[in-house]
Structure 1
């Protein structure tokens, strides 16, 4: 089997990116680097999230592929509210979405603005957390991870729901725009 240079580089890049989840701890300087790295990755996440979100016509924003599934709208609302709840609880900071308005009544444009505001809030939180707090271990999924790793775990959660949203777009006969990577 012949592997192209591009495929090999992609594999190595994926391995490098996943290293933080293998239990590596970081120094104070590396935690400052995390803030810069995360800021870049988070901006790309916002761009792609809004690309996916904006592909669904407003008249289909509440589309569900089965009665028990989340709606297209709810995929995004869940990402915002769940991530904010998790970060606020772990970092002991106010949750700006704790008593939020009726999400189901927001127009597509209003929800898009809420998503942008959420991404701005998370980026601000990540930038303000002290290196000591970022290094602290917290319970997660039956184990423990450092707080800086938790930011990536929340991004992984968003990736999951964004992927589901891509399927909703396809079910409405729309060819999704290409992936926006790092």
Structure 2
């Protein structure tokens, strides 16, 4: 009986380890990141989407669209090997901005799901020099986090309590 339990524990732990790849870890975090940012976008009233703390900063809406555009660019350019046409799309309403953001998060996840652990070792040309696709994957999340942190300040400056942080 002890031998069976031991084998079961080994089997389950090896399966769990096999699932814990940089890609699967990224995708889990990515989904939570999307939910967190959407909560933040929903918390800001639509009439405050043009708010910016100083003249040189982006508006709340511009920050969200900058995050969206960066997701589209990084995931398509470095993982789908596609170039996006530089078409200026406008999103006049809060609901349209949020929907566009969700779509970009989902499209990025779909693209990243096709990557293999070997793909992450590949070197690509980046404006900051050669980087691995793993570094680009990390940049995808880091960029969202960077701008989401700014949006927390925007919410606080408008007396709006930001959503509770979630790490994973």
Question: What's the TM-score once normalised by structure 1's chain length?
Answer: 0.74
Question: Structure 2: 5+ residue runs without aligned partners?
Answer: 1-16
Partner SS state of residue 67, structure 1: coil
- Report what 1:93 is aligned to: 82
1:73 and 1:177 map into 2 onto residues whose CA distance is: 17
Partner SS state of residue 159, structure 1: helix
1:34: Cα distance to partner? 2.1
- Report what 1:24 is aligned to: none
Q: Does 1:119 align with 2:113?
A: no
1:84: Cα distance to partner? 1.5
Q: Does 1:181 align with 2:167?
A: yes
Question: Structure 1: 5+ residue runs without aligned partners?
Answer: 1-28
- Report what 2:120 is aligned to: 134
Q: Does 1:158 align with 2:144?
A: yes
Q: Does 1:36 align with 2:24?
A: yes
Partner SS state of residue 124, structure 2: strand
CA RMSD of aligned residues (A): 2.3
Stretches of 4+ aligned residues off by more than 6 angstroms? 29-32
1:72: Cα distance to partner? 0.2
Tell me if structure 2 keeps the 8 A contact 1:79–1:157.
Answer: yes
- Report what 1:22 is aligned to: none
1:160 and 1:149 map into 2 onto residues whose CA distance is: 16
Tell me if structure 2 keeps the 8 A contact 1:31–1:131.
Answer: no
Partner SS state of residue 77, structure 1: helix
1:82 and 1:179 map into 2 onto residues whose CA distance is: 22
- Mapping 1:6-155, distance limit 5 Å: 33-91=21-79, 92-95=81-84, 98-103=86-91, 105=92, 107-140=93-126, 142-155=128-141
Question: What's the TM-score once normalised by structure 2's chain length?
Answer: 0.79
The structure with more radius of gyration: 2
Aligned length: 151
1:111: Cα distance to partner? 0.9
